[in-house]
Chain A
């Protein structure tokens, strides 16, 4: 469509994404500069609809942002009471003793088990009170760049039919122009990706490495509920070369959050993160918590694991990257909410500074980050995730204990990531097929019944938002070499191979997509491009996620 038809509106700041980073930035902006007009858009149907996290959060950044969060009714209601780190074998579990010494990053004293979706809904209400304009249900699909400066974003057109024509309900997108644009899309944001390419923001930094988290929320009988209990595990069923582990948190009203994270640098093409996640539940250490309960929700999301070494240049003319769009997750701590919020707050400070001096690029952001606790935190744990990548799980664990106990995170060296996750897969003929048990429908489930619980919906009559750039490449690389890894790593059953024996072809059930972004990351030839579908499409995660 011609751009002349689009309506346009101007703001001081436009924020893309309504997660902890974007909302914290919005709040900070209005706190520091109440006359600044701030518009935040979110592709989910409402704030929180696309938020998936464990989540145990550290309230440090929140306390800096809204010191009276308790009085304001923030949904941080379950303080961590007890925690265990378990090493699993197939049938047994061993508790890591003196956790706060060996794995000090994992110590959760003073932290809270929350539904991050609920926290975001609450943050949104705080932001709206401060005068931030929040528009959920609209996906930013285009970065507006003029004279090499980002001048805002445009939302996608609505009502485009599957074959790309304007349907009867066609509504053109809208230009949201801004002096500064903050990208807070979370891990592997689709616009962040374009901005990184345009300004070559990844030049000179390690390739980003990712993880995929898959989560279920269970409702358990009251007599089984132990609010405040935190349990993590490593070991079985992952082999020594695969980074991954499970979590289980008791929180809220008889709710249990269970989930599994796997490093997307795994090499076995036959591996299925979804099935790994399902089978960990059969381990006695997890089964005993969930049996007798019922599963009420399901979701998945990729996360950045590269840490400090993989953080790109954070600013560009007309804006900045925040939160997991930049990769601020602290992997050994397995927490990113406090760092995301902190980065959003610092970006806000930098924007206010840039506005007062009319600078094109809010460059003071980088300085503010480097002077903050956020940087110290990421710096001290920078070698841990790459140690696991290089030495394997067991030796990696030993290294991380030494790093934490003896070196106190101040090692004079820095370990690096060498490859992108999509380069790590081995050919199907070189890998062993794991034997995954069949779902029993009580404790373990299949993909489709899981996606059903994520309340995922996309308008049916719209172009497929998962774009396979070169179909031929799928056949020669994905099928002939790797035997369609996307049909296994996708936690939502989006990718399906049809006519396997005669003329194999990839069928894409785009309507199932839970927006986790794994395909965009892990596709061996980087041939799958995740683009935003029509706004408000995707999962509708309920409270508890």
Chain B
């Protein structure tokens, strides 16, 4: 069985994002970019399934700018076998990505597509679900555990207050949640080897996919700064303030 893992290049999770002065978005020029952490978990899961003998090949796909090939190389250093880069504008919308992935899936014919549950830049949490809808496949989202057996995948979903187990007929879509696994480091020898793994570059225009933007960003603003706290002297003062100033009791 082949596994396709779509990955996204995003602003690194260590970076404090900065809103552009004109409020049109987040500054990305000169900012460190890396693989969306949930996608790292998805790659790790696919590679583990391959190591267990469940999968035979792991193909990583990214839709975005040329530099996304660095992200794909990282995924190959973690253990993916080959990569497909679909060149497009920076950060296309989830629906456009899902349509591109549908074309890739038709070409690759995987038994499983594992995605991160959401990207940490726009937090849309949509691509996996949209791809499932477009393909008419079953979906196991927010996966905390994945087991593949007998043509089915059993997914433990992280839901409010517990987990929900679903069983899906393959081929299927799984989106990875935080607790699914802890991704490995891409070691230096593996990074060196990943340079030699195949990376195919396609153009979004050649895939016959309509990527017109359907969403308009009205404005992007930083969250309000947290005000400094105060120290109260007594319990009664605290109660008084909670009642009359904060008006919460």
Contact = CB atoms under 8 A, between A and B. Distances in A.
B29 A543 contact: yes
A9 B189 contact: yes
Interface of B: 12, 14-16, 18, 21, 29-32, 34, 182, 184-185, 187-189, 191-192
Contacts of A304: none
B237 to A, nearest CB: 25
B176 to A, nearest CB: 17
Contacts of A544: 30
Given A9-B192, A46-B32, A169 B185 contact: yes
A168 B29 CA distance: 35
A446 to B, nearest CB: 12
Interface stretch (A86-94, A360-368, A451-459): A451-459
Contacts of A155: 188
A404 interface: no
B185 A542 contact: no
A219 interface: yes
A173 B187 CA distance: 8
Contacts, number: 60
Question: Interface of chain B, helix or strand or loop or mixed?
Answer: loop
Given A254-B21, A542-B32, A455 B14 contact: yes
A453 B12 contact: no
Given A168-B182, A169-B182, A540-B15, A118 B30 contact: yes
A471 interface: no
Nearest to A46: B32
Given A7-B189, A159-B185, A254-B21, 19 more contacts: A7-B188, A9-B189, A46-B32, A135-B188, A135-B192, A158-B187, A171-B187, A172-B187, A453-B16, A455-B12, A455-B16, A457-B14, A540-B12, A540-B14, A540-B15, A542-B15, A542-B30, A543-B29, A544-B30
Contacts of B189: 7, 9, 174
A298 to B, nearest CB: 11
B32 A540 contact: yes
Contacts of A158: 185, 187
A138 B187 CA distance: 9
A296 interface: yes
B25 to A, nearest CB: 15
B40 to A, nearest CB: 12
A455 B31 CA distance: 11
B190 to A, nearest CB: 9
Interface string A171-194: 111100000000000000000000
Contacts of A172: 187
